[in-house]
Amino acid sequence: MFELNGRRAVITGAASGIGLAIAQTFARNGAAVAMVDLNLERVTEAAKALSAETGANALGFACDVSSEESVVAAFDAIGTRVDILVNCAGIAHVGSLESTTPADMDRLYAVNVRGTYLCMKYALGPMLAQGSGVMVNLASIAATAGLSDRFAYSMTKGAVLAMTLSVAKDYIARGIRCNCISPARVHTPFVDGFLAKNYPGQEAEKMAGLAKSQPIGRMGRPDEIASLALYLCSDEASFLTGVDYPIDGGFFNLR
């Protein structure tokens, strides 16, 4: 089950965190993976390591997902076969309506919304030509839950959810499925860096607080998100489209 043999997956934000975990999981299950990230050196190193570990065809590509020119160049380099697109590239922001500046809004929109749109747009052509394809977007529980001090971030993830539903509706008859995943807090290098920068000397205390915010008592792991993405992109999920999948440690229903 859940094999991706013979399929080519494009994964953005693939140099670290959830994107890297998804690339690793897909490669271990037979996919050729095009790993896309802003940092060429890191994504190239990650692709080489993954190829050496799995024997899969893993390649790294530099791309600024907020730039149409950069996205077009990346998809031109990737080639005409795209069976799967997973949009993981994204940035976070802490702030309420009062403290969020127009520049904050523009920066979050450029990556999280425009970037997701551009990558879907330029993956769509190859999928339509093939008559098949799967898109998975990383949204967040912030898309549908009120979270403190996440005004701009919540806006962007709500847009990702809305775009997912629209694409699923428009292309269901043309062989393309589109779903999104909405994680609660996941322990990634971003979390470690955020705590080190903003709470030096209090990392352990703050980490414990983040873990307790989920009823299950811990943050999620990137590989757990990757397992759900694998299912959604596999033939076992062929009856699923237009769905937002929370993976949240009980956040919504058990608080």
- Burial class, 244, CB count within 10 angstroms (exposed 0-12 / middle 13-18 / buried 19+): middle
Active site residue 153: yes
SS3 per-residue string spanning 105-162: HHHHHHHHHHHHHHHHHHHHHHHHHHCCEEEEEECCHHHCCCCCCEHHHHHHHHHHHH
- Given 117, 153, 171, 245, the catalytic residue: 153
Instruction: Catalogue the active-site residues.
Output: 153
